Amino acid sequence: MTENNLTIGVVGAGQMGSGIAQVCAMAGMTVLLNDVSEQAVARGIDTIAGQLDRLVTKDKLSASARDEALRHLKPAASLEQLAQCDCVIEAATENETLKLDIFRRLDAIVQPNAVLASNTSSISITRIAAATQRPDKVIGMHFMNPVPVMPLIEVIRGLHTSDAVCQAVTLLAKQIGKVPVEVKDGFGFVANRLLIPMINEAIFCLYEGLASAEDIDTVMKLGANHPIGPLALADLIGLDTCLAIMAVLHEGFDDSKYRPCPLLKQMVDAGLLGRKTGQGFFRYNT
């Protein structure tokens, strides 16, 4: 998996998956984008085309480069169409049962030497790898949101991930213009073990009436030099994803300091998930 002409499969055409597909296609790799339905894949490709069009409008990308990237992007109606991929990156919902099922199916479909990577935000890579017959070829590639903008990829080695696979994925990250940082396989890894509890604590501040959502975010932007406040960031990530990560931390460490705020649970129950639903801690035009 060291040559430039790689074929990358991406499972999940939502916010993260479409971003991953976009950066891989822009790097000249053939990308097969899969989701649960052809309509979901079509929406993902439309999202990517729109993002590329905006880059052209802002003179950050040439029209010919946009067209070339779109030529590298192909829909895959089923996982079976990913059989010849050099690497498959799973970017499905942060649900362990779902991810384990996807990896079991991919293991039976994709060529034996292919790498299987997960964009999981918090779930153990070792546990995901155990669902396959190739645990040495399973690794975490935790992209940051929004993928085309954020440079970091956490490269997470499971207990059995081989040195060769880690090196190949590190090179892949560099080929798509990202900065890979290798971390151990621990609950939440590094980024979300630090970030999501901070967001959860900001939600507690709101829940306890210490300040308004706007003022909590202003405090962190002006007082801690954060480019975006924690509640607006939660809306960007998705409150359901924040809750899922807190649940993994709470269960994994069995420590009450990781308990999800009741307000976070309530908002997820109400379907107020942030930007993707038009309302979270703030309202958005959809």
Q: Which of 34, 118, 154, 250 is catalytic?
A: 154
Q: Catalytic residue at 154?
A: yes
- Cβ pair 79, 106 in contact under 8 A: yes
140 is in an annotated binding site: no
Q: Which of 34, 122, 192, 200 is catalytic?
A: 192
16 is in an annotated binding site: yes
In one-letter notation, the amino acid at residue 161 is T
What's the helix, strand, coil split of the chain in %, to 5?
50, 15, 35
- Six-digit token string for 275: 């930007």
121 is in an annotated binding site: yes
In DSSP terms, which residues pair with 115 in a beta bridge?
87
Q: How far apart are CA 227 and CA 223, in angstroms?
A: 11
Place of tokens 């000249």: 28
- Six-digit token string for 142: 């935790």
278 is in an annotated binding site: no
Q: Catalytic residue at 72?
A: no
Q: Catalytic residue at 5?
A: no
99 is in an annotated binding site: yes
94 is in an annotated binding site: yes
Length of the chain: 286
Terminal Cα-to-Cα distance of the chain (whole angstroms): 40
266 is in an annotated binding site: no
Q: Which of 121, 122, 124, 200 is catalytic?
A: 121
Q: Catalytic residue at 192?
A: yes
Rg, C-alpha atoms of the chain: 19
251 is in an annotated binding site: no
Distance of CA 279 to the CA centre of its chain: 21
Main-chain dihedrals φ then ψ at residue 154, nearest 5 degrees: -80, 120
14 is in an annotated binding site: yes
Cα angle value 245/8/21 (rounded, 5°): 60
141 is in an annotated binding site: no
Q: Binding-site residues, please?
A: 12-17, 35, 94, 99, 121, 145, 276
Q: Binding-site residues for NAD(+), please?
A: 12-17, 35, 94, 99, 121, 145, 276
Q: Give the active site residues.
A: 121, 142, 154, 192
